[in-house]
A and B are shown apart, each in its own frame.
Chain A
């Protein structure tokens, strides 16, 4: 089951990477420089860390038939409050205290944001898209209040470690992704949470009658989504050593939803695929990298991205594959399914 679900996303990821190899023969090369792993692949994983994190949270929200539009704003809030805490803390202290204060403030605020979304959806019963839209708008406002509408730059070495540091030659953000993914996988596979999320998403009334407390499940997934966005916001703001309430995490919610859908989780709720979403996030990140590295004019960036996304979604749809691909496979000279697939994909675009 899982294998077949991950098949198409992985193939697509490989195709995108292969295209890069065509333009840059050294694309797959990974070297150790100054005790750091470097190379394009490492870059993609490193850059993609925030999106991967947010997609993990978004996956569980979508599995309950919900959606979280607030994650982009939570990124901005989290990064802003962390940076401002560091700025204020540095005046009096040069130890690591400001760092921990910043992390605590950022995660606390993100969890509060997730709690807010979760309460609106599960207790008050507002439709998820409307409920989280509130935070999408208000959160960015709060972030701007925190930063006073300015882009504040931070000169504090420990803070940039979160997004830019290396541990045992591997970027630190990769550990963060691995840890959050590990928690999510553990909770959904080794506890009954995964079963409950799927049943609440697939049939809320039947789940209620089976004695599942769907309200708490829903609250929890929004809380977790807020947490993921908070960690993502820390990484992003640490990466650039600044706090930008205006632009940090802008449109991240849409990329995350895309990543989840590419990964095979249906917006109708129910079955979800955490690994699929992570791969979906990597696809989006490598696409962005590719567009820059092979020299597609930046103006067409968004359009190229959209076209690829359409192709990916079409390939994911069994109905589409059946309608378009089957007649071709019936041809006397059997082609490899993947070949006919690519041709078809290009035609559609």
Chain B
């Protein structure tokens, strides 16, 4: 394969949103006939980069060249006309329209002012056969499996004579066979000289299908590597990073005080939910912080949701303080003194149109029921107390929560659960997307809560944060709990990364 000149090159791309530098001097080179992985954790800037490339966002600085010629892509339509096509994570086609209609929607073949169905059917069949797919194109898209829908989305993208095809998390909802079917398609397209950008959180797939990869972290370009010559463990450390922020204020050595065996607060045995998480065992003791480490999509949140009854388990048992319980709804979990703060702050946490006060008292009031409504004065006292304790800004209980910064919203949600005085507090990415100051405050709070006897299950993508606060660490990989580590002196981020990567490298 000649790789003298890249087909597409992005150089020095910088993009700033109000208050955030989303991309800073990032580059991407795509050669003809290669599958290129774009790697990075959430918020690394992958999707921003893709959106710049496809004209959804306008870059502040940098150049894009296609076939050696500089191009300006300022709308998605221009990107399509240049041959840059994208297939998004969720298949964004219309499942109640036929396959043909989906492929040609918006650019139907017109003959004498009317749609030429015959030609469109013929062309759709032709395109699908090229990918070794023999399906009835007049049936509705929804009657086919997600893999085939995904393939139809690709055909739709190819129909515009694509030069560059971007696949954003194409495999996240496919099973193993379907993934292989998709990979066969990708290999075929690759042979035809297409550049393919492949974004996925599944490392196995990255190593199976991609030739080279570019790593981004916090909006910065980390490097471009040949996939096969970069061991998994190194890849992960490049994605996650190794910087340590100032940690003086936080418990330096969480394992130092070992108060003997304390009582078990929660015990899960062979708990599982098909398609979400494989059976796992987990034991949480009073006053300990357990960390859940793993890449995005490794099943961390799914595990937590089972423990809170947010999803129903298919099999397995949960014991709370030694007693077997059924957690079919969050309400039941709350009744057993369990609290859970979701990673999706906006959609599953805050109630945007309500005030700080109302958001804060919601869970406690929910447990007390309709008629034990806390008198307004009592509400205000409690809320004021927590606003002071957590340093919430602005300190006005009647401010709508949607007007607060992410960090302050997170503190209000923490307060919502602290009000219920839980035995077990599950925090899913409580520090994501908030500034360093608020991050440190939340970590400090966790440690002091655990010292007072609360057990905490702490999910985070930042390993140093987990190492700093947790006594034990459970590692998940590909929807399975793979190991449990004691946080001892000699444990390092590298050890955890090795577990996340699967002991390879």
Residues of A within 8 A of B (CB): 190-193, 195-196, 198-199, 202-203, 205-213, 270-271
Contact = CB atoms under 8 A, between A and B. Distances in A.
Contacts of B350: 203, 206
Contacts of A193: 370
A270 B353 CA distance: 7
> Shortest 6 CB-CB distances between A and B: which pairs?
A211-B334, A211-B366, A270-B353, A192-B373, A210-B363, A211-B331
Contacts of A198: 351, 353-354, 358
A209 B353 contact: no
B431 interface: no
Interface in B452-501: none
Contacts of B358: 195, 198-199
Contact of A207 (B334, B351, B361, B367): B351
Given A209-B310, A213-B331, A195 B348 contact: no
Nearest to B358: A195
A210 B362 contact: yes
Contacts of A205: 347-348
Interface of B: 308, 310, 329-331, 333-334, 340, 342, 347-354, 358, 361-363, 365-374, 416
A290 to B, nearest CB: 35
A206 B365 contact: no
Contacts of A203: 347, 350-352
B330 A202 contact: no
A208 B373 contact: no
Contact of B349 (A206, A211, A270): A206
15 contacts: A190-B373, A192-B368, A195-B358, A195-B365, A195-B373, A202-B353, A203-B350, A206-B348, A206-B349, A209-B310, A209-B342, A210-B366, A210-B416, A213-B331, A270-B351
Contacts of A271: 353
Contact of B362 (A190, A191, A199, A270): A199
Contacts of B363: 210-211
Contact of A212 (B310, B353, B362): B362
Contacts of A212: 331, 362, 366
A20 B342 CA distance: 56
Given A192-B366, A210-B416, 12 more contacts: A191-B373, A198-B351, A202-B351, A203-B347, A205-B347, A206-B342, A206-B351, A209-B342, A209-B348, A210-B366, A211-B334, A211-B366
A207 B361 CA distance: 12
A211 B352 contact: no
B34 to A, nearest CB: 41
Contacts of A191: 370-371, 373
Contacts of B374: 192
B379 to A, nearest CB: 10
Contacts of B308: 209
A205 B311 CA distance: 12
Contacts of A202: 351-354
A192 B348 contact: no
B351 A192 contact: no
A203 B359 CA distance: 11
A198 B348 CA distance: 15
B347 A199 contact: no
A209 B353 CA distance: 17
A144 B370 CA distance: 39
Nearest to B398: A1
A54 to B, nearest CB: 24
Nearest to B374: A192
A72 B349 CA distance: 37
Given A202-B354, A209-B340, A192 B347 contact: no
B370 A196 contact: yes
A200 to B, nearest CB: 9
Given A209-B340, A210-B363, A211-B331, A199 B351 contact: yes
A95 B299 CA distance: 71
A209 B301 CA distance: 14
Q: Most chain-B CB neighbours within 10 Å: which of A202, A208, A210? A: A210
A196 B366 contact: yes
B416 to A, nearest CB: 7
Contacts of B365: 192, 195-196
B415 to A, nearest CB: 12
A206 B416 CA distance: 12
A211 B337 CA distance: 11
Contact of A210 (B330, B368, B373): B330
Contacts of B362: 195, 199, 207, 210, 212
Contact of B370 (A192, A207, A208, A209): A192
B354 A208 contact: no
Q: Most chain-A CB neighbours within 10 Å: which of B347, B370, B371? A: B370
A212 B416 CA distance: 13
A193 B370 CA distance: 6
A186 to B, nearest CB: 11
A199 B372 CA distance: 17
Nearest to B416: A210
A107 to B, nearest CB: 22
Contacts of B370: 191-193, 196
Nearest to A207: B351
A70 B358 CA distance: 32
A191 B373 CA distance: 5
Contacts of A195: 354, 358, 361-362, 365, 373
B88 to A, nearest CB: 22
A65 to B, nearest CB: 11
A212 to B, nearest CB: 5
Nearest to B368: A192
Nearest to B420: A211
A271 B352 CA distance: 11
A211 B310 contact: no
B347 A206 contact: yes
Contacts of A196: 365-366, 370
A190 to B, nearest CB: 6
